[in-house]
Chain A
Amino acid sequence: MSQQSARGRARVPSPGSRRLVNALAAIVVGIVVLVLWQIVGSRVSPIAMSYPTAVFKEALALIGDGSLGAAFLSSISSFVPAYLLAIVVGVPVGLVVGRYRLVEAGFGPYITAGYATPLVALIPLFIVWFGTGYTVKVAVVFTLTVFPILINTWRGVQAVPRTLIEVGESFGASQAEIMRKIIVPGTMPHIMTGLRLGVGRAVIGMVIAEFFTAVTGLGGIIINAGNSFDTARMFVPVIVVLLFGIILTWLVGLAERRLAPWHAAMSGGR
């Protein structure tokens, strides 16, 4: 009898209502933080902190004169090609490194080192190579993004069960067919994880490149506003970058559920 009541209590609510509760929780926390920020922020120096209503006013101004939109376009004009290039390079290289032992032995250590290196420290060198314009921004974002994508793809290839490859072999699949029909779909969940981690790194790369090379884009507004102690104005692009990262991560998650639906179902994930 006690078992029965325990089971009753543990009953899982429907996914819809659970999602609603989760969203409400997030909204409540968000409102509390905003209110606290408003109360504390308006009591201290505007240089130190600013507060939501001031930030909102600045946002309207930046949107109104078109500078926020222009900065956003400028930022994604280097972000998007760099991120796509990181996929186009990272995924195939990861597949090859994961599949062929000798390639892995040759390149693996350097890829691991590249992932661990604080690549931001190389920006001065990048400026020497690529100047301070558009190219260097693409290069910085690409370099930061390609490693998580590459490494996750590489690890993903190795996580494909040997037995599935043997199924392919037993049906007479060629190396190319094994790659296309078994390795690639089998690695897809890991590739998507790499893309998700890549978003975070790419956003960081984008802003940092705008700080340290020609000052443009959202990062440019941040650094210019910061330099003139206009803290309220500085927060506007910070929030835009934040939202941009969140939305992209969500989109990748959406793509993941489409491209690797079996994975979420098998790992009991969400």
Chain B
Amino acid sequence: MADGREAIKSTDRVDGTATPKVRFEGVSKEFASRQGAKTRTVRALDDVSLSIREGEVVTLTGMSGCGKTTLLRVLMGLESATSGTVYVNGTPIDGPGKDRAMVFQHAELFPWRSALANVEFGLELRGIRSAERHEIAGRYLRLVGLDESQHLRPYELSGGMRQRVGMARALAIEPDVLLMDEPFGALDAQTRETLQSELLRIHAGDNRTILFVTHDLDEAVLLADRVVMMAPNPGRIHAIVDVDLPRPRPDAVELRASAEFGRIRAHLWRLLQEANSGADASQGVGDRR
């Protein structure tokens, strides 16, 4: 067991000279939160540095409140960092951009639009003609396995179908980086596993760069090339774990049953406990950065 930690190295290097797809450089984020009459500052992110290679899937995990959503929103450009810089393709970001797209925790579809029209949303904003838009949106609905429900409105779709539409909407604009905030967290276990497999299949097809937030350690290992474990108060990176499971990963069931999967998962579990107990004493253990 003790050799497990050595085998799973923490890496944050970028191979060769290629610019990383995404680079967080000393990113901190503070919120002013009001408590009665006083305002208190919450340090949601504390000096986070992380690089993500092209085509890499990085999962972000850790207990609730450790800044996962905040990190994603800063990358999306929905929040601006208090200090530090986020680079996408080597260029510092300034607000949302067409190189990034987000899949939201609760899908957040437009209730007045059909599934197809929801997927067309980002394409409309790019001024793509309606015939071409239909064609592209239809293609992405097919990709997520929903082409037969394209005319249904969100309230007529199940939770899993809504998340599929949300994924299609984000994928349709063909972003360089796909951001996903616990997109399967509210689904039942079977639907979640189906969608995990679909995401693996889609990634095997387009090799897109993905930053995926989850509090489910199984999910974190299954999807990732690297798992980033965050620690709370203040939100920071506690450890980064390489997942050297082969890709493509067409059989999630077999993968879950493998010894390597179990080993990484157990290691993450220990890191999670370490991250949370070390939160108050702020004493780093092991490979804390």
Can you list 11 A-B contacts (CB < 8 A)?
A164-B110, A169-B78, A170-B100, A170-B102, A171-B173, A181-B121, A185-B113, A260-B112, A261-B153, A262-B112, A262-B154
B134 at the interface (CB under 8 A from A): no
Query: CB distance A172 to B98 under 8 Å?
Result: yes
Q: Which residues of chain B come closer than 8 Å to A166, judged between CB atoms? A: 78, 108
B residues bordering A, Cβ < 8 Å?
76-78, 96-98, 100-102, 104, 106, 108, 110-113, 121-122, 124-125, 153-156, 173
Cα A36 to Cα B153 in complex, Å, equals 49
From B100, B104, B173, A167 is in contact (CB under 8 Å) with B104
Q: How far is the CB of A49 from chain B (nearest CB, A)?
A: 50
Chain B facing A: main interface SS: loop
Q: Which residues of chain B come closer than 8 Å to A182, judged between CB atoms? A: 110
Cα A173 to Cα B125 in complex, Å, equals 6
A163 at the interface (CB under 8 A from B): yes
Query: CB distance B112 to A170 under 8 Å?
Result: no
Q: Contacts A166-B78, A181-B124, A262-B155 given: A171-B108 contact, CB under 8 Å?
A: no
Q: Which residues of chain B come closer than 8 Å to A262, judged between CB atoms? A: 111-112, 153-155
Q: Which residues of chain A come closer than 8 Å to B78, judged between CB atoms? A: 166, 169-170
Cα A75 to Cα B187 in complex, Å, equals 57
Cα A262 to Cα B152 in complex, Å, equals 11
Chain A facing B: main interface SS: helix
Apart from A161-B108, A172-B98, A262-B153, 10 more pairs, CB < 8 Å: A167-B102, A171-B98, A173-B125, A181-B124, A185-B113, A188-B112, A262-B111, A262-B155, A265-B155, A266-B155
Q: Which residues of chain B come closer than 8 Å to A265, judged between CB atoms? A: 153, 155-156
Query: CB distance B153 to A171 under 8 Å?
Result: no
Q: Which residues of chain B come closer than 8 Å to A167, judged between CB atoms? A: 102, 104, 108, 110, 121
Query: CB distance A170 to B76 under 8 Å?
Result: yes
A residues bordering B, Cβ < 8 Å?
161, 163-164, 166-167, 169-173, 177, 181-182, 185-186, 188, 260-263, 265-266
Query: CB distance B106 to A170 under 8 Å?
Result: no
Q: Which residues of chain A come closer than 8 Å to B124, judged between CB atoms? A: 181
Cα A146 to Cα B9 in complex, Å, equals 67
Q: Which residues of chain B come closer than 8 Å to A185, judged between CB atoms? A: 110, 112-113
Q: Contacts A186-B112, A266-B111 given: A163-B104 contact, CB under 8 Å?
A: yes
Q: How far is the CB of A20 from chain B (nearest CB, A)?
A: 27
Q: Which residues of chain A come closer than 8 Å to B76, judged between CB atoms? A: 170
Q: Which residues of chain A come closer than 8 Å to B97, judged between CB atoms? A: 172
From B101, B111, B112, B154, A171 is in contact (CB under 8 Å) with B101
Q: Which residues of chain B come closer than 8 Å to A177, judged between CB atoms? A: 125
Q: Which residues of chain A come closer than 8 Å to B125, judged between CB atoms? A: 171-173, 177
Query: CB distance A164 to B108 under 8 Å?
Result: yes
Q: How far is the CB of A186 from chain B (nearest CB, A)?
A: 7
Q: Which residues of chain B come closer than 8 Å to A260, judged between CB atoms? A: 112
Of chain A, the residue at the smallest CB distance from B112 is: A185
Query: CB distance B111 to A172 under 8 Å?
Result: no
Query: CB distance B108 to A163 under 8 Å?
Result: yes
Of chain A, the residue at the smallest CB distance from B121 is: A171
Cα A181 to Cα B125 in complex, Å, equals 10
Cα A139 to Cα B93 in complex, Å, equals 52
Q: How far is the CB of B133 from chain A (nearest CB, A)?
A: 13
Query: CB distance B96 to A172 under 8 Å?
Result: yes
Q: Which residues of chain A come closer than 8 Å to B98, judged between CB atoms? A: 171-172
From A163, A169, A186, A266, B96 is in contact (CB under 8 Å) with A169
Q: How far is the CB of B165 from chain A (nearest CB, A)?
A: 12
Cα A260 to Cα B173 in complex, Å, equals 27
Cα A262 to Cα B153 in complex, Å, equals 7
Cα A163 to Cα B153 in complex, Å, equals 18
Q: How far is the CB of B111 from chain A (nearest CB, A)?
A: 4
Most B Cβ at <10 Å: residue of A177, A182, A262, A265: A262
Q: Which residues of chain B come closer than 8 Å to A171, judged between CB atoms? A: 96, 98, 101, 121-122, 125, 173
Please provide the 8 A-B residue pairs with the shortest distance between their CB atoms, ordered closest to farther.
Answer: A171-B122, A185-B112, A262-B111, A170-B102, A163-B108, A266-B155, A167-B108, A170-B96
Most B Cβ at <10 Å: residue of A167, A173, A177: A167
Cα A167 to Cα B154 in complex, Å, equals 15
Cα A173 to Cα B77 in complex, Å, equals 13
Of chain A, the residue at the smallest CB distance from B154 is: A262
Q: How far is the CB of A260 from chain B (nearest CB, A)?
A: 7
Of chain B, the residue at the smallest CB distance from A171 is: B122
Q: Which residues of chain A come closer than 8 Å to B108, judged between CB atoms? A: 161, 163-164, 166-167
Q: How far is the CB of A52 from chain B (nearest CB, A)?
A: 46
Cα A224 to Cα B56 in complex, Å, equals 83
Q: How far is the CB of B150 from chain A (nearest CB, A)?
A: 16
Cα A167 to Cα B102 in complex, Å, equals 8
Of chain A, the residue at the smallest CB distance from B123 is: A171
Cα A4 to Cα B68 in complex, Å, equals 48
Q: How far is the CB of B174 from chain A (nearest CB, A)?
A: 13
Most A Cβ at <10 Å: residue of B100, B110, B113: B110
Q: Which residues of chain A come closer than 8 Å to B100, judged between CB atoms? A: 170
Of chain A, the residue at the smallest CB distance from B99 is: A172
